Amino acid sequence: MGVRQKKIAAHDLEIGMFVSDLDRPWHQTPFPIQGFYLRSENDL
């Protein structure tokens, strides 16, 4: 099974998903690295 990239709405995000792209450049976000796992309700 390979890695799949799928564009979804923010309200469809679930714990365990990996966010690999955003609707803006990463340097315009508070995230220190490009991409992150959603590990808890707080991440949503």
Hey, what are 34's tokens? 């490009």
- State the distance between the two ends of the chain, measured CA to CA, in whole angstroms: 26
pLDDT at site 19: 94
pLDDT in tens, 3-37: 788 999 999 999 999 999 999 999 999 988 899 99
For 19-43, b/e burial (b = at least 16 CB within 10 A) is eeeeeeeeeeeeeeeeeeeeeeeee
pTM for the structure as a whole: 0.76
